[in-house]
Amino acid sequence: MTEIIDMVESQIIASIKRPEDFEQALTSEVNIVFLMTGDLLTIKEYVDILKDKGKYVFLHLDFIEGLANNKSAIKFVAQHWKPTGIITTKSNLIKYAKDEGLVTIQRMFLIDNGALAKGVEVINSCRPDAVEVLPGLMPKIIDRLTREIPMPLIVGGLISSKEEILAALEAGALAVSSGNPTLWKVNI
């Protein structure tokens, strides 16, 4: 299996949150896409089109309408939709996805020091291939996390400029995810 570090060509990741942004992600220079929209009837087509354009596709399981969060759903995703991997806030799904050969990204929201400590504990327990942290405007915390967890760190949320992207990367993030199509054009 290819490691996520090897996948990153553009350090901007397109987070597609709305169907109307699909075409912009498809034609952008980003090579990794977080698919955060769709349902049981549209996801396979989205995944196939993105993969045909050479994109690595990660499904954010928490946002796929109609999809259950259990082992059978993960098996179905892996066998029928065949994305590169998954993103989820649910650590129990990380193991199931790894068992199915999918690349895994654990998403965590940092709201205070307690969430940070619990997040590190969960990450070290479930061992995803990478971690996405939100919000991404925390260079000091990004630096700390890169020393506390052995997985690559992706940050996102509330980032609105090239300067903020560069600050996150300088602090140690591998890449920055953004739902803003304008930032998908930033060449980094």
- Tens of pLDDT, residues 2-44: 789 899 999 999 999 999 999 999 999 999 999 999 999 999 9
Cβ(131)–Cβ(123) below 8 Å:
yes
Q: Which residues fall within 8 angstroms of residue 52, CB to CB, at 6 or more apart?
A: none
pLDDT digits (tens, 9 = 90+) for 47-58: 999 999 999 999
Structure confidence at residue 1 (pLDDT): 64
The average pLDDT across 56-69 equals 95
Structure confidence at residue 2 (pLDDT): 73
The average pLDDT across 69-76 equals 96
Q: Which residues fall within 8 angstroms of residue 121, CB to CB, at 6 or more apart?
A: none
pLDDT for 125 beyond 80: yes
State how far the Cα of 54 lies from the Cα of 111, in Å rounded to an integer.
35
pLDDT for 136 beyond 70: yes
User: What is the residue-wise DSSP string for 68-129?
Assistant: -SSHHHHHHIIIII--SEEEES-HHHHHHHHHTT-EEEEEEE--SHHHHHHHHHHHHHH--S
Structure confidence at residue 187 (pLDDT): 87
Which structure tokens are listed for 70? 């259990």
Question: What is the architecture, at CATH level 2, of domain 4-185?
Answer: Alpha-Beta Barrel (3.20)
Domain ranges of the chain: 4-185
Percent of the chain with pLDDT over 70: 99
Cβ(13)–Cβ(173) below 8 Å:
no
Over the Cα atoms of the chain, what is R_g? 15
